[in-house]
Amino acid sequence: MQYIEIDGAQGEGGGQILRSALALSVITQKPFRLYNIRAKRAKPGLLRQHLTAVQGVQAISRAQVEGATLRSTALTFVPQRVKAGTYHFSIGTAGSTSLVLQALVYPLLMADGPSKVTIEGGTHNAFAPPFEYLTEVLLPVLKRMGMPIHATLERYGFYPQGGGRVVFEIEPMTQPAALTLMTCPAFKTSAEVIHSGMPEAYVAQAFKPVRHRLGWEASQCVDTPLAARSGKGAVLYVRFAAEQHSALFTGFGGLRVAPQSMAKTVLNDVCRFMQAQVPVDQHLADQLLLPMALVGQGCFLTQNPSLHTETNRLMIQTFLPTQIHLERVGPDQCEVRFQSV
């Protein structure tokens, strides 16, 4: 048997290499061997979130797997055909439900019937797309590409408590459509803090730097308290909403994170996005690479790619006969085009 050999230390050296390899292996029916898993992270190897992704893709494809244990730094994966069905996966920590979905959703879009997937774990944690990012940004764009996915948040799961639950209903992709996002729409802007178990003053302090730096009115800032049973945590959203697609920038807070710190990183990303004058922000660009490569055509204008995006591009082209062309066309503008070969 011929395996694709993958060095997990290449590029950004994180979990995206694993998730993309799992999804693409099932889609293309190409087995792989992955070594140096998450080599550039503080805790290398498979953590609970990554192990759940492996076990999930193994379950939906009846794959043969070696090395699927906690802290494992090597994995051998031999896929079988994906099977539609009802699945339930529990991470057991506050690990991201959204990132586990990344490994599962694209193979299930290729199944011969609808699937229902329940994932328990973290729904709002740093370095991962929160639930609202999926429903407001990614899933609407995927629907335009002929990839119908519906998500329901049944229970919030803030870091570090976790305990959230999300249900995804995935229909097979029948008529893939090329996506073109080359012009910047007229976005409507707003900010929101959703929070649970946090002092009232925390939210007010989070909005201060947003209003000061962006010059926004108080009416553009929305305070959304949640039931105390949701745990303790806060999330700051800065939204750019348009009819066809949106952008969403996120900061995560909590009792150990000052509200000003929560806002600072978000505002740096927001200001850069506004200056770039592009329709697709850097994070969405990374999310779009795999589904657009499956369609095999399309284009979008985004910010200059991150190392994360560059690494994902190389992974996709390892499995698929699709060329992903990146051309810088401005100080912080990059044109991304997809071409089947």
Strand order in the sheet with 179-181: 179-181, 297-302, 333-340, 322-330
Three-class SS state of 226: coil
CA distance 321 to 318: 8
Q: How many CB atoms lie within 10 A of CB 105?
A: 22
Judge contact between 56 and 30, C-beta under 8 A: no
Residues 6+ apart with CB under 8 A from 158: 94, 122, 123, 124, 125, 164, 196, 230, 231, 232, 233, 254
Asked about 50 being catalytic, the answer comes back as no
| Catalytic, out of 212, 245, 308, 325 | 308
Judge contact between 122 and 153, C-beta under 8 A: no
CA distance 230 to 197: 8
CA distance 156 to 198: 15
CA distance 298 to 305: 17
Strands (E), 199-271: 221-225, 233-241, 246-253
* Active site residue ranges: 308
